[in-house]
Protein backbone atom coordinates (compact mmCIF):
# COMPACT_ATOMS: atom_id res chain seq x y z
CA UNK A 1 0.00 0.00 0.00
CA UNK A 2 1.31 3.41 -1.01
CA UNK A 3 0.24 6.37 1.13
CA UNK A 4 1.20 9.95 0.28
CA UNK A 5 0.87 13.33 1.94
CA UNK A 6 0.87 16.59 -0.02
CA UNK A 7 0.16 20.19 0.91
CA UNK A 8 -1.18 21.36 -2.46
CA UNK A 9 -1.53 25.05 -1.46
CA UNK A 10 -4.98 25.43 -3.13
CA UNK A 11 -6.52 22.35 -4.72
CA UNK A 12 -8.39 24.37 -7.34
CA UNK A 13 -5.28 26.21 -8.50
CA UNK A 14 -3.32 22.97 -8.74
CA UNK A 15 -6.02 20.53 -9.75
CA UNK A 16 -4.34 19.56 -13.03
CA UNK A 17 -1.07 18.84 -11.24
CA UNK A 18 -2.87 16.83 -8.57
CA UNK A 19 -4.87 14.71 -11.01
CA UNK A 20 -1.80 14.22 -13.19
CA UNK A 21 0.24 13.07 -10.20
CA UNK A 22 -2.50 10.65 -9.13
CA UNK A 23 -2.73 9.10 -12.58
CA UNK A 24 1.03 8.85 -13.00
CA UNK A 25 1.84 7.43 -9.55
CA UNK A 26 -1.33 5.50 -8.63
CA UNK A 27 -0.98 5.82 -4.85
CA UNK A 28 -3.56 3.94 -2.82
CA UNK A 29 -4.17 6.83 -0.43
CA UNK A 30 -3.32 10.52 -0.55
CA UNK A 31 -3.71 12.99 2.31
CA UNK A 32 -4.04 16.56 1.06
CA UNK A 33 -3.65 19.79 3.04
CA UNK A 34 -4.27 23.50 2.56
CA UNK A 35 -7.19 22.98 0.20
CA UNK A 36 -8.38 26.59 0.59
CA UNK A 37 -11.95 25.72 -0.33
CA UNK A 38 -15.20 24.59 1.25
CA UNK A 39 -16.47 21.02 0.97
CA UNK A 40 -18.92 21.87 -1.80
CA UNK A 41 -16.23 23.69 -3.82
CA UNK A 42 -13.82 20.76 -3.72
CA UNK A 43 -13.32 19.31 -7.25
CA UNK A 44 -14.80 15.97 -6.30
CA UNK A 45 -15.81 14.89 -9.81
CA UNK A 46 -12.30 15.34 -11.19
CA UNK A 47 -10.71 13.42 -8.32
CA UNK A 48 -13.30 10.66 -8.50
CA UNK A 49 -12.69 10.52 -12.24
CA UNK A 50 -9.08 9.66 -11.50
CA UNK A 51 -10.28 6.64 -9.53
CA UNK A 52 -10.46 7.92 -5.95
CA UNK A 53 -13.03 8.05 -3.19
CA UNK A 54 -13.00 11.38 -1.38
CA UNK A 55 -13.45 12.65 2.19
CA UNK A 56 -13.11 16.41 2.70
CA UNK A 57 -13.01 18.78 5.65
CA UNK A 58 -12.74 22.17 3.97
CA UNK A 59 -12.72 25.84 4.88
CA UNK A 60 -13.23 28.88 2.70
CA UNK A 61 -9.94 30.51 1.70
CA UNK A 62 -7.84 28.81 4.39
CA UNK A 63 -6.77 25.43 5.72
CA UNK A 64 -8.74 22.38 4.63
CA UNK A 65 -7.76 18.70 4.51
CA UNK A 66 -8.82 15.71 2.44
CA UNK A 67 -8.23 11.97 2.15
CA UNK A 68 -8.32 10.37 -1.28
CA UNK A 69 -8.45 6.58 -1.49
CA UNK A 70 -8.69 3.98 -4.23
CA UNK A 71 -10.54 1.89 -1.66
CA UNK A 72 -13.72 2.71 0.32
CA UNK A 73 -13.39 5.17 3.18
CA UNK A 74 -15.06 4.12 6.42
CA UNK A 75 -15.71 5.72 9.81
CA UNK A 76 -14.76 9.21 8.62
CA UNK A 77 -14.15 11.69 11.44
CA UNK A 78 -13.74 15.44 10.89
CA UNK A 79 -11.95 17.67 13.35
CA UNK A 80 -9.38 16.98 16.05
CA UNK A 81 -11.04 16.13 19.39
CA UNK A 82 -10.38 18.16 22.49
CA UNK A 83 -11.64 21.66 21.66
CA UNK A 84 -15.24 22.10 20.55
CA UNK A 85 -14.59 25.80 19.92
CA UNK A 86 -11.90 25.13 17.31
CA UNK A 87 -13.41 25.97 13.92
CA UNK A 88 -10.28 25.55 11.82
CA UNK A 89 -10.38 22.66 9.33
CA UNK A 90 -7.08 20.94 10.02
CA UNK A 91 -7.78 17.29 10.78
CA UNK A 92 -9.53 14.38 9.10
CA UNK A 93 -9.49 10.64 9.88
CA UNK A 94 -10.76 7.58 8.04
CA UNK A 95 -10.36 3.81 7.96
CA UNK A 96 -9.39 1.91 4.84
CA UNK A 97 -10.08 -1.81 4.82
CA UNK A 98 -7.68 -4.22 3.12
CA UNK A 99 -7.22 -7.96 2.78
CA UNK A 100 -4.73 -7.69 5.62
CA UNK A 101 -7.14 -5.87 7.94
CA UNK A 102 -7.71 -2.13 8.30
CA UNK A 103 -5.55 0.98 8.32
CA UNK A 104 -6.51 4.16 10.16
CA UNK A 105 -5.23 7.27 8.39
CA UNK A 106 -5.30 10.95 9.38
CA UNK A 107 -4.66 13.97 7.18
CA UNK A 108 -3.11 16.72 9.30
CA UNK A 109 -2.49 20.42 8.70
CA UNK A 110 -0.82 21.56 11.88
CA UNK A 111 -0.91 25.31 12.71
CA UNK A 112 2.07 27.39 11.64
CA UNK A 113 2.27 29.22 14.97
CA UNK A 114 4.01 32.41 13.90
CA UNK A 115 4.76 34.83 15.38
CA UNK A 116 5.89 33.02 18.49
CA UNK A 117 5.04 35.95 20.79
CA UNK A 118 1.35 35.67 19.94
CA UNK A 119 -1.74 33.53 20.59
CA UNK A 120 -0.98 31.72 17.32
CA UNK A 121 1.97 29.96 18.93
CA UNK A 122 -0.11 29.03 21.98
CA UNK A 123 -2.74 27.59 19.61
CA UNK A 124 -0.08 25.55 17.81
CA UNK A 125 1.18 24.00 21.05
CA UNK A 126 -2.32 23.31 22.37
CA UNK A 127 -3.25 21.74 19.03
CA UNK A 128 -0.24 19.46 19.26
CA UNK A 129 -1.19 18.43 22.76
CA UNK A 130 -4.61 17.43 21.41
CA UNK A 131 -2.94 15.55 18.56
CA UNK A 132 -0.77 13.63 21.03
CA UNK A 133 -3.86 12.71 23.04
CA UNK A 134 -5.62 11.48 19.91
CA UNK A 135 -2.53 9.58 18.75
CA UNK A 136 -2.42 7.80 22.11
CA UNK A 137 -6.07 6.76 21.72
CA UNK A 138 -5.46 5.47 18.20
CA UNK A 139 -2.76 3.13 19.49
CA UNK A 140 -5.49 1.33 21.40
CA UNK A 141 -6.99 0.18 18.10
CA UNK A 142 -3.95 -2.07 17.62
CA UNK A 143 -4.11 -1.59 13.84
CA UNK A 144 -1.71 0.23 11.51
CA UNK A 145 -2.12 3.99 11.99
CA UNK A 146 -0.61 6.64 9.72
CA UNK A 147 -0.64 10.28 10.83
CA UNK A 148 0.23 12.07 7.59
CA UNK A 149 0.46 15.73 6.81
CA UNK A 150 2.05 19.12 6.96
CA UNK A 151 3.23 19.31 10.56
CA UNK A 152 4.84 22.74 10.24
CA UNK A 153 7.66 21.40 12.39
CA UNK A 154 11.34 20.97 11.54
CA UNK A 155 12.19 18.01 13.78
CA UNK A 156 15.99 18.28 13.78
CA UNK A 157 18.74 20.60 12.47
CA UNK A 158 19.42 18.06 9.72
CA UNK A 159 15.93 18.82 8.39
CA UNK A 160 16.83 22.39 7.36
CA UNK A 161 19.49 23.56 4.94
CA UNK A 162 20.26 26.49 7.22
CA UNK A 163 18.85 25.70 10.67
CA UNK A 164 20.28 28.93 12.08
CA UNK A 165 17.79 30.85 9.94
CA UNK A 166 14.88 29.23 11.78
CA UNK A 167 15.88 29.84 15.39
CA UNK A 168 13.20 32.51 15.88
CA UNK A 169 10.51 30.65 13.91
CA UNK A 170 7.66 28.63 15.42
CA UNK A 171 8.56 25.68 13.19
CA UNK A 172 11.87 25.21 15.00
CA UNK A 173 11.12 26.19 18.57
CA UNK A 174 12.08 23.75 21.33
CA UNK A 175 8.42 23.54 22.38
CA UNK A 176 7.30 22.58 18.86
CA UNK A 177 10.06 20.05 18.35
CA UNK A 178 9.48 18.63 21.82
CA UNK A 179 5.86 17.90 21.01
CA UNK A 180 6.92 16.17 17.81
CA UNK A 181 9.23 14.00 19.89
CA UNK A 182 6.29 13.27 22.19
CA UNK A 183 4.62 11.45 19.31
CA UNK A 184 7.76 9.36 18.88
CA UNK A 185 7.78 8.66 22.60
CA UNK A 186 4.30 7.17 22.27
CA UNK A 187 5.68 4.70 19.77
CA UNK A 188 5.21 6.49 16.43
CA UNK A 189 7.99 6.35 13.83
CA UNK A 190 9.02 9.13 11.45
CA UNK A 191 8.83 7.11 8.22
CA UNK A 192 11.46 9.01 6.28
CA UNK A 193 14.06 9.01 9.04
CA UNK A 194 13.46 5.29 9.55
CA UNK A 195 14.67 4.82 5.98
CA UNK A 196 17.35 7.49 5.66
CA UNK A 197 19.58 9.77 7.71
CA UNK A 198 20.75 11.67 4.64
CA UNK A 199 21.06 15.43 4.76
CA UNK A 200 19.45 17.87 2.32
CA UNK A 201 16.18 15.93 2.08
CA UNK A 202 13.39 18.49 2.12
CA UNK A 203 9.67 18.70 1.38
CA UNK A 204 9.20 22.51 1.31
CA UNK A 205 11.00 25.35 -0.44
CA UNK A 206 9.90 28.96 -0.11
CA UNK A 207 8.87 30.82 -3.26
CA UNK A 208 11.36 33.61 -2.52
CA UNK A 209 15.03 34.09 -3.45
CA UNK A 210 15.40 31.01 -5.62
CA UNK A 211 15.10 28.71 -2.61
CA UNK A 212 14.31 25.64 -4.68
CA UNK A 213 17.08 26.21 -7.19
CA UNK A 214 19.54 26.58 -4.29
CA UNK A 215 17.97 23.64 -2.42
CA UNK A 216 17.38 25.95 0.54
CA UNK A 217 14.60 23.80 1.94
CA UNK A 218 13.13 22.32 5.08
CA UNK A 219 11.41 19.04 5.90
CA UNK A 220 8.06 19.71 7.52
CA UNK A 221 5.78 17.13 5.85
CA UNK A 222 5.80 13.87 7.75
CA UNK A 223 4.20 10.45 7.96
CA UNK A 224 4.23 9.15 11.52
CA UNK A 225 3.62 5.41 11.78
CA UNK A 226 2.22 3.42 14.68
CA UNK A 227 4.21 0.29 15.61
CA UNK A 228 1.86 -1.87 13.54
CA UNK A 229 2.46 0.36 10.51
CA UNK A 230 6.21 0.76 11.10
CA UNK A 231 6.61 -3.02 11.17
CA UNK A 232 5.32 -3.04 7.58
CA UNK A 233 7.44 -0.15 6.32
CA UNK A 234 9.16 -0.92 3.01
CA UNK A 235 10.23 2.47 1.64
CA UNK A 236 9.78 6.22 1.86
CA UNK A 237 10.57 8.89 -0.70
CA UNK A 238 9.97 12.54 -1.58
CA UNK A 239 8.82 13.49 -5.09
CA UNK A 240 11.06 16.51 -5.45
CA UNK A 241 10.33 16.93 -9.17
CA UNK A 242 6.87 18.36 -8.46
CA UNK A 243 8.48 21.53 -7.12
CA UNK A 244 10.14 22.19 -10.49
CA UNK A 245 6.82 22.72 -12.26
CA UNK A 246 5.49 26.08 -13.38
CA UNK A 247 3.58 27.69 -10.47
CA UNK A 248 3.79 24.62 -8.20
CA UNK A 249 2.87 24.20 -4.58
CA UNK A 250 5.74 25.11 -2.26
CA UNK A 251 5.44 21.57 -0.84
CA UNK A 252 5.96 18.25 -2.63
CA UNK A 253 4.46 14.79 -2.09
CA UNK A 254 6.02 12.51 0.52
CA UNK A 255 5.22 8.82 -0.02
CA UNK A 256 5.44 5.75 2.17
CA UNK A 257 5.08 2.17 1.02
CA UNK A 258 3.75 -0.33 3.56
CA UNK A 259 3.65 -4.09 3.15
CA UNK A 260 -0.11 -4.35 3.56
CA UNK A 261 -2.18 -6.54 1.19
CA UNK A 262 -4.88 -4.61 -0.67
CA UNK A 263 -7.98 -5.96 -2.31
Q: Which residues are annotated as a binding site for Mg(2+)?
A: 7, 34, 150, 152, 250-251
* Rounded CA separation 205/215 (Å): 7
| 53-57 sheet: strands from edge to edge | 53-57, 65-69, 29-33, 2-7, 254-258, 233-238
Look up 198 and say whether it is catalytic: no
Residues making up the binding site: 7, 34, 150, 152, 250-251
Q: Burial code of 121-156, b = ≥16 C-beta within 10 A, e = fewer?
A: bebbbebbebbbebbeebeeeebbbbbbbbbbbbbe
- DSSP secondary structure string for all residues of 81-147: TT-TT-----EEEEEEEETTEEEEEEEEE-----SSSSHHHHHHHHHHHHHHHHHHHHHTT-S-EEE
∠ CA 25-221-194, nearest 5°, is 85
Residue of 28, 39, 150, 190 with catalytic role: 150
Look up 109 and say whether it is catalytic: yes
169: DSSP letter: S
Residue of 17, 52, 91, 109 with catalytic role: 109
Look up 150 and say whether it is catalytic: yes
- The sign one gets for the Cα dihedral 116, 35, 237, 70 is positive
Task: Catalogue the E-assigned strands of the chain.
Answer: 2-7, 29-33, 53-57, 65-69, 73-78, 91-98, 101-109, 145-150, 189-190, 204-205, 217-218, 221-225, 233-238, 254-258
Which residues are the active-site residues?
Answer: 109, 150, 251
Amino acid sequence: MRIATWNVNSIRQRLDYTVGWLRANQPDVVCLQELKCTDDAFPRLEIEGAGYNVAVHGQKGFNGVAILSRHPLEDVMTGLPGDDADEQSRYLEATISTDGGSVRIASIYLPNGNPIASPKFDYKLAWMDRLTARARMLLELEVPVVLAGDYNIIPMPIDARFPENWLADALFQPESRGRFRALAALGYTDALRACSDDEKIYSFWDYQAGAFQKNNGIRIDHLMLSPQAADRLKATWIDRDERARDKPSDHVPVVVELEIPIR
